[in-house]
Structure formats: structure tokens, C-alpha cells
């Protein structure tokens, strides 16, 4: 057997070797690109973060043929052109869109000026679209939100981020070193044997989440953690998914160690070699794993759907930005959080309503027995009490005062040695007790009281010596002299006792009435936390001369709240409650219906149990139908266009032996009045089915029984119908716009019949 020469062998395989090298090179490039994409360098196209929802709203105006739209058509065209130009620059040259931003702001200012004088109303279906003033306001606010977000993005775009590539060379030795230092920090915090110091150290451990660190570091050595690998220049010993999680946690911990809210004493306590060594090790794990431009795609997706899944994804990215190693990224995350973290519950209470439900003036008559200037006094008194609520103007706090006016009239008799003194008196006392409403309930200050007017008169003096000549007159003279000498002291002591008695009674009555309210607030807060993981935070609250305005942000750690201003309170409202759609979506999201399978009856039972409403689980015809919810945004509530829209995404539904897959059900409700003149939410028109090519009639019939027209939702609370003091009130002024549902308390119309009472 003859072997070919080396040159001959090489020549015969040149073509195959070239193909082999190209394949290796292509595989390497593909692997590197895959790793880069997994590390956060995803490719984002203009289509990903272009404001499609806003585009549709503006384009509806541009394409309208109505004459009324002519003054704003060119402005809206400029808005569209500038939006497109800005988004292109944000992707390819983030340093350029400043000019377009300026032009966009000018267009918005012009639109706002026209909006003030805009009187056009929504047109009929057959007529060209005419935007209402509310539609123009919604577009203006949406553009302003984008301008704010884009400006803060541009500030962060030119900053070099912390590289992520250094993160992916961590080994198990690095994990062990970080774990060892975390244990040392825990021991430093909890080394004291004194209970108080140990508890304080445990609080520091909870603040820095040392136990969570140890749990995740221990998980790095578990076999299950080694199953997923990413191709990289260096083969990591730890999956990149875990490294990214640890990096985000390192960002959070460093941010807490350097928090500006720490006191000087706390900073001194943390300035210890053990803590500093741990901090230095954590800094080697830090990296910016989220680029700011990635937020825009999720932001636009959330604007379009308002679903819980999109809300969680956007909130998670914002949290990662706010704990970034790069200061500009942190600022960008904080700005986005403020834009999408406004109050989602607002309550307006008028001073008129508060005063109309106070007790009517009370008149009390009673006997009394007292000691004044060491002399026993008995008599009868009549007390008239009148109360009024006053709002104390404050720009950031909810402060009210209960003003109590007390008119006191009395007749009394005091017995001294051989003498009876008969007195009469009148007094007017003004008392005030301050209340402040906070997340914990009502906080009160001790009652203050002053004497406005006090008059005492000696009506008659009887002595045992009145019938004795000469001596009787002398004795009466002595009595009058003693009375006059002690009159001022007696009056002062009487006033002091009256003030003390009024203050004590007002404080006692206030505590008696407010304690149950505070208990209910505490129970509600505890229920929201335990059942839904929601925290209630007081936001931009205020009081003025006529209104008490309380605003609350209700959200969990992984959610957002409102991003639009609430509708205006209309004239004639005694109270007004406004709820943003983010709140019901949060509550529905906590049911965790994503991808869940079950029957209609099982899901109704889950709703009834979660919301403590047994009536939701009452048996109905289609309870046996099997449903599998979609894994993304399964149930979404929208407050738009004067309607409450319920959007249900279903992955599979088994009905009459046939399975229907991947479709949506949209049910709309509108405010209306029932036959008895009560405000309700009734189903509006047909149920919409999307992506159901066949069996439309059968499906619509089935869902029509689940959401029947015959079962509207009442909007008049039972307390208005059952409590006589609310006889003159009902609900009205229902506004559903800009993501808000607003409902007011108004006076019952006496001259309108039920058929004429239309919203």
C-alpha cells in the first residue's frame, strides 16, 4: 500500500478544508451573537417601540373628513411626522432628536391652546369622526409622557454602561468567596447576645437580604443549576440566567448600602472592614443587564394593552434600571417609575357632605352636683351642642377639624353657714379637635376649648337670720362682701371645670367613633397585603376650603399604578370616587390565571373566595365548560371610550365536544339607568369574538349566558338605599375615560322620570 505525499494530500482536501473552516467560523459567529443577545444586547427595531396606540389615535383625526377637524389636522400630521423621526433617531443616532423633540413640544402646546376652545362632540357612526375635548386632552397627555421619557432616555443614552461581558466569567470559587463574606457580614450584625442589639442586627440582615443571598448562592452548586449553558468566549461554570439574577441583586444591595436615606450613625455602623470587604466583592458582580432603550418596547406594549403581564415585565425592567451601577440609568428608571406610578385611587369629599351627615343640634337637660371654692353646689343645667366640620387648607396633608359649640345655661344653689345662695349663669364654649387622615387611619390631636362668653349672676340670698332685726342686715352684708371677694375665683374655677369637661367629652366621643374606623382600615390594609400582596401608599393629598382630596397609590412590588390624570369632578357632586384601570388589573393578575385550566365553576369559586363574594359562585348553565386561559394577559379590564371593556384571552375552550383554540372574548359594559331609576352597568351590544372563524353563533350564545344582558351591575351602594340619612343622595356623573372610572354622589332628581334620567 502506497501513501500519498503530504503535498498531494493537502491539495486533494483543500476544498473540503475551506468548507470546514467556514462552517467553524460561522458557528462561532452564531454562538457569539446568541450569547450577546442573551446578555441583553437584543436587536430592537423601530416597530418595537413606536407608539402604535398613540399613532392610531392621531391618525383617526388626520383621516377624518369632518370640517370641524380642519383646524387641528395639520397639527396632527406634524405630530405623526415628528414621532416617526424621533423614534428613528432613538434607534440609530440618539444624539440627534433634540430638534424633533422641540417641534413636538410646540405642536402639543398648540393643540392644548385649541383644546381650551374645542366644543366638538363625538359624531354618530354614519358621520365622520369628530374628536371631543377629552380625546384631544388624552392625545396631548400621551405625547407629553413620551417627550418626558425620551428626554430622560437621551440623558442616559450617551453614558457608557457597565459592561456585562465581565459578569460571565464567574466561577464556583467566586461563589464560595461571596458566600463566605456574606456569612461574615451576618455574624457581624448579629454577634451581640443582648436581645435588643441582636434584633437590630437582624433588621440589618433583612434590609440587605443576606439570607436570600445565601439561598441563591447555595443554589449555584445544585445539579439542576448546571443544566443550561450559554456559548461564550469562556465556558461559564454557572448558567448565565443565574449570573444575571445575582447581578441584579448585587445592584440592589449596593444601592441600599449607599442609600441617601441612611443617617450618619448608620453610615458609621456600616463602615466596618467586614462590610467593606463584602461590598467590594459585590461590586465585582454588578453589571447593567438592561439597556434603557429596551424599556421603550415594553412601555409601548403596556400602553396598548394595560395587561398585568405587560405591567409586570415593565416594572421588572424599571426595577433593574433603578438599581443600576450607572447613575444615569438609575435616574432614568426613577423617572419612568414616577410617570407610571401615580395615584390610582382618588376620593373627593365636599365639606357640604361632611356637615350634612353630622348629628343635628342636641339639647340636654340634667341635674348636677359639684364643689366650687370648697362649697357644695347643686342645680340644673341645659346644654345645647352644635357641631361642624371645617377643612384646614394644606397642600400635602388631609387635615380636618371638628368644631363643637356648646351653649350652657344653669341655675344653682350653694349652701354655706346659715346661708343659701341662688345663682344663674350662661356660658358659650368653643371646642376644636383636629384630625389627619393617613395610611394607618385617623390621627387626632387633643381637643382644645376656650370660653367665648361666661356670665354669672347672684339672684337671691337667703339666711337663717333674715327675720332678726339689725343682726339680719349685718349678716347679709357680710355674706355679700364674702361673695364679691370670691366671685372671680369661683368664676375662674367654674370655667376651668367646664373646659375640662367639654374637652374630655369630645375626646371620648371621637375616640369611640374613630376606633372602629381605624380597625376597619387596618383590616383592609392587612387583607390587601395578605390576599393580593398590595401596599397602600398615600400620595398627593390636600385640603382646601371646600374639598377634601385624598389620593392613594395601591400597588405591589412588581406592578405599576396610573399614568394619566383623573377626570375632573363635575359641578353638583357631593363626593367623587375615581379608580384607575391598573387597580382591577392588579387584583385580577393576583389570581394567577396565566395558562391555568379549569371549568367555569372552578374559576368562579376562585373569584368568590379571593374577593369574599359568595354570590359570584352561584350555579349557572355553562359552569361545566372547560377553559384554559392564555399564558399572557389572560384577563384585562379597560376603562375607555365611555365603556368598561373586559378582554379575555383563551388558549383552549372545550364546548359541545369541540375544542376552540387561541381566541379572544371582549365584553363591553356601559352606564345606564334601570327601570327604577338606579344607575347600573349594563352589557353594551354583542359580545365580540376575535380569531373565531367558525361556530360564532354557538360561542356567542355560550358567553352570552356567562355574561347575560339581564344581569347588570348596580352602581348604587346599598348604604344609600338602606340608611335614611342618605335619602337625598344617589350616584351619578359616571365618567369612563383616559383609563379611569369615576362615579359621584349627587342629589336625587325629583322632577325627572326614570325614562328621562340618562347619562
Instruction: Quote the CA–CA distance of 139 and 116 in Å, as a whole number.
Output: 14
Torsion angle, CA of 51/57/58/59, rounded to 10 degrees?
A: 100
Q: What are the φ/ψ torsions at residue 306 (nearest 5 degrees)?
A: 60, 20
- Lowest-pLDDT range, 239-253, 422-436, 532-546, 591-605? 239-253
What pLDDT shows up at residue 226?
45
| Eight-state DSSP code of residue 633 | -
Instruction: Quote the CA–CA distance of 594 and 382 in Å, as a whole number.
Output: 67
Bridge partners of residue 629, in order along the sequence:
650
Q: pLDDT grade, residue 172 (50/70/90)?
A: confident
Give me the mean pLDDT over the 420-439 stretch. 90
What pLDDT shows up at residue 608?
86
pLDDT at 464 exceeding the cut of 50 = yes
Give me the mean pLDDT over the 321-348 stretch. 87
Q: Are 629 and 653 in contact (CB under 8 A)?
A: no
Sort 603 into a burial class: Cβ within 10 Å, 0-12 / 13-18 / 19+.
Answer: buried
Bridge partners of residue 580, in order along the sequence:
740
| 482 vs 593, higher pLDDT | 593
Q: For a pLDDT cut of 90, what percent of the chain falls above it? A: 23
What pLDDT shows up at residue 193?
67
Q: What are the φ/ψ torsions at residue 343 (nearest 5 degrees)?
A: -60, 140
Bridge partners of residue 736, in order along the sequence:
741
What pLDDT shows up at residue 123?
54
**pLDDT tens digits for 229-241?**
333 334 456 777 7
Q: Are 603 and 582 in contact (CB under 8 A)?
A: no
Bridge partners of residue 349, in order along the sequence:
548, 575
What residue has cell string 387584583? 587
Give me the mean pLDDT over the 175-193 stretch. 88
pLDDT at 749 exceeding the cut of 60 = yes
What pLDDT shows up at residue 200?
85
- Lowest-pLDDT range, 118-132, 263-277, 473-487? 118-132
| 233 vs 106, higher pLDDT | 106
pLDDT at 469 exceeding the cut of 90 = no
pLDDT at 96 exceeding the cut of 80 = no
Sort 494 into a burial class: Cβ within 10 Å, 0-12 / 13-18 / 19+.
Answer: buried
Q: pLDDT grade, residue 658 (50/70/90)?
A: confident
pLDDT at 756 exceeding the cut of 50 = no
Q: Are 696 and 665 in contact (CB under 8 A)?
A: no
Instruction: Quote the CA–CA distance of 668 and 686 in Å, as a whole number.
Output: 8
Element (DSSP H or E) covering residue 643? strand 643-655
- Lowest-pLDDT range, 95-104, 313-322, 487-496? 95-104
Q: pLDDT grade, residue 249 (50/70/90)?
A: confident
| 11 vs 444, higher pLDDT | 444
**pLDDT tens digits for 120-139?**
655 555 677 888 877 888 88
Give me the mean pLDDT over the 337-352 stretch. 91
**CA distances, 383 to each of 294, 361, 454, 503, 683 (Å):** 70, 10, 14, 15, 56
Q: pLDDT grade, residue 163 (50/70/90)?
A: low
**pLDDT tens digits for 47-78?**
567 888 888 889 988 888 888 888 888 888 98
H-helix segments, 327-413: 327-339, 351-356
Instruction: Quote the CA–CA distance of 279 and 258 in Å, as a whole number.
Output: 10
What pLDDT shows up at residue 529?
85
| 715 vs 85, higher pLDDT | 715
What's the predicted TM-score (pTM) here? 0.77
Sort 263 into a burial class: Cβ within 10 Å, 0-12 / 13-18 / 19+.
Answer: exposed
What pLDDT shows up at residue 539?
85
What pLDDT shows up at residue 31?
38
Instruction: Quote the CA–CA distance of 611 and 163 in Å, as a whole number.
Output: 46
**pLDDT tens digits for 690-735?**
998 777 888 888 888 888 888 899 999 888 878 787 888 889 999 9
What pLDDT shows up at residue 18?
42
**CA distances, 674 to each of 682, 753, 757 (Å):** 9, 12, 10
Q: pLDDT grade, residue 161 (50/70/90)?
A: low
Q: For a pLDDT cut of 70, what percent of the chain falls above it? A: 86
pLDDT at 261 exceeding the cut of 80 = no
Give me the mean pLDDT over the 187-200 stretch. 81
Q: Are 188 and 272 in contact (CB under 8 A)?
A: yes
**Over the chain, what is the mean pLDDT?**
81
Instruction: Quote the CA–CA distance of 272 and 103 in Å, as a whole number.
Output: 53
Element (DSSP H or E) covering residue 54? helix 52-62
Amino acid at each position: 500500500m502506497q501513501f500519498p505525499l503530504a503535498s498531494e494530500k493537502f491539495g486533494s482536501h483543500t476544498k473540503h478544508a475551506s468548507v470546514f473552516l467556514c462552517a467553524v467560523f460561522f458557528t462561532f459567529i452564531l454562538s457569539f451573537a446568541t450569547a450577546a443577545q442573551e446578555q441583553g444586547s437584543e436587536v430592537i427595531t423601530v416597530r418595537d417601540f413606536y407608539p402604535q396606540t398613540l399613532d392610531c389615535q392621531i391618525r383617526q383625526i388626520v383621516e377624518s373628513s369632518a370640517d370641524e377637524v380642519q383646524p387641528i389636522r395639520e397639527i396632527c400630521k406634524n405630530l405623526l411626522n415628528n414621532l416617526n423621526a424621533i423614534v428613528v433617531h432613538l434607534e440609530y443616532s440618539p444624539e440627534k432628536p433634540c430638534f424633533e423633540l422641540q417641534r413636538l413640544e410646540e405642536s402639543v402646546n398648540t393643540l392644548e391652546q385649541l383644546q381650551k376652545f374645542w366644543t366638538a362632540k363625538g359624531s354618530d357612526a354614519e358621520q365622520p369622526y369628530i374628536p371631543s375635548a377629552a380625546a384631544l386632552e388624552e392625545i396631548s397627555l400621551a405625547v407629553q409622557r413620551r417627550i418626558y421619557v425620551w428626554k430622560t432616555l437621551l440623558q442616559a443614552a450617551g453614558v457608557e454602561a457597565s459592561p456585562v461581558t465581565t459578569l460571565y466569567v464567574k466561577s464556583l470559587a467566586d461563589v464560595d468567596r461571596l458566600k463566605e463574606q456574606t456569612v461574615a457580614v451576618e455574624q457581624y450584625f448579629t454577634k451581640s447576645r443582648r436581645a435588643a442589639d441582636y434584633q437590630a442586627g437582624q433588621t440589618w440582615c433583612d434590609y440587605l437580604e443576606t439570607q436570600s443571598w445565601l439561598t441563591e448562592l447555595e443554589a449555584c452548586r445544585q445539579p439542576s443549576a448546571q443544566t443550561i449553558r450559554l456559548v461564550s468566549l469562556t465556558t461559564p461554570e454557572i448558567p448565565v440566567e443565574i449570573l444575571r439574577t445575582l447581578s441584579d441583586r448585587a445592584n440592589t444591595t449596593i444601592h441600599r448600602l449607599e442609600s441617601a436615606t441612611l443617617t450618619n450613625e448608620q453610615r458609621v455602623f456600616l463602615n466596618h472592614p467586614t462590610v467593606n470587604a463584602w461590598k467590594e466583592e459585590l461590586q465585582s458582580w454588578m453589571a447593567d443587564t438592561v439597556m434603557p432603550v429596551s424599556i421603550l418596547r415594553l412601555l409601548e406594549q403596556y400602553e396598548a394593552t394595560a395587561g398585568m403581564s405587560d405591567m409586570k415585565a415593565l416594572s421588572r425592567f424599571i426595577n433593574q434600571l433603578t438599581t443600576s451601577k450607572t447613575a444615569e440609568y438609575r435616574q432614568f428608571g426613577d423617572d419612568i417609575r414616577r410617570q407610571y406610578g401615580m395615584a390610582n385611587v382618588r376620593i373627593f369629599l365636599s365639606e357640604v357632605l361632611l356637615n350634612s351627615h353630622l348629628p343635628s343640634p342636641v339639647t340636654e337637660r340634667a341635674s348636677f352636683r359639684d364643689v366650687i371654692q370648697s362649697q357644695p353646689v347643686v342645680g340644673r343645667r341645659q346644654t345645647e351642642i352644635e357641631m361642624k366640620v371645617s377643612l384646614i387648607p394644606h397642600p400635602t396633608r388631609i387635615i380636618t377639624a371638628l368644631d363643637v359649640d356648646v351653649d350652657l345655661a344653669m341655675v344653682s344653689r350653694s349652701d354655706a353657714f346659715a346661708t343659701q345662695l341662688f345663682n344663674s349663669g350662661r356660658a358659650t364654649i368653643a371646642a376644636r379637635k383636629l384630625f389627619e387622615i393617613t395610611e394607618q387611619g385617623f390621627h387626632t390631636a387633643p381637643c382644645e376649648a376656650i370660653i367665648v362668653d361666661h356670665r354669672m349672676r347672684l339672684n337671691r340670698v337667703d339666711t337663717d337670720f333674715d327675720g332678726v332685726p339689725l343682726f339680719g342686715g349685718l349678716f347679709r352684708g357680710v355674706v355679700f362682701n364674702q361673695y364679691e371677694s370670691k366671685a372671680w375665683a369661683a368664676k375662674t374655677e367654674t370655667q376651668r371645670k367646664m373646659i375640662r369637661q367639654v374637652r374630655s367629652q369630645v375626646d371620648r366621643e371621637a375616640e369611640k367613633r374613630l376606633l372602629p374606623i381605624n380597625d376597619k382600615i387596618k383590616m383592609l390594609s392587612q387583607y390587601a397585603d395578605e390576599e393580593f400582596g398590595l401596599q397602600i401608599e398615600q400620595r398627593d393629598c390636600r385640603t382646601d376650603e371646600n374639598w377634601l382630596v385624598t389620593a392613594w397609590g395601591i400597588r405591589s412590588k412588581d406592578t405599576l399604578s396610573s399614568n394619566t390624570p383623573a377626570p375632573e369632578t363635575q359641578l353638583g357632586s357631593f363626593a367623587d370616587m375615581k379608580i384607575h384601570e391598573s387597580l382591577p388589573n392588579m387584583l385580577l393578575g393576583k389570581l394567577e390565571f396565566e395558562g391555568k385550566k379549569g371549568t367555569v365553576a372552578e374559576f368562579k369559586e376562585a373569584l368568590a373566595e379571593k374577593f369574599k363574594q359568595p354570590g359570584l359562585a352561584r350555579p349557572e348553565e355553562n359552569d361545566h365548560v372547560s377553559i384554559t386561559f392564555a399564558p399572557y394577559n389572560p384577563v384585562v379590564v379597560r376603562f375607555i371610550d365611555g365603556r368598561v371593556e373586559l378582554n379575555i384571552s383563551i388558549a383552549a375552550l372545550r364546548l359541545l365536544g369541540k375544542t376552540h383554540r387561541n381566541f379572544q372574548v371582549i365584553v363591553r359594559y356601559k352606564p345606564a339607568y334601570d327601570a327604577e331609576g338606579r344607575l347600573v352597568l349594563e352589557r353594551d351590544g354583542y359580545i365580540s369574538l376575535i380569531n373565531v372563524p367558525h361556530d360564532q353563533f354557538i360561542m356567542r350564545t355560550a358567553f352570552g349566558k356567562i355574561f347575560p344582558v339581564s344581569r347588570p351591575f348596580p352602581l348604587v351602594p346599598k348604604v344609600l338605599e338602606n340608611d335614611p340619612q342618605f335619602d337625598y343622595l344617589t350616584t351619578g356623573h359616571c365618567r369612563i375615560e383616559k383609563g379611569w372610572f369615576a362615579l359621584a354622589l349627587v342629589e336625587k332628581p325629583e322632577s325627572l322620570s326614570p325614562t328621562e334620567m340618562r347619562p
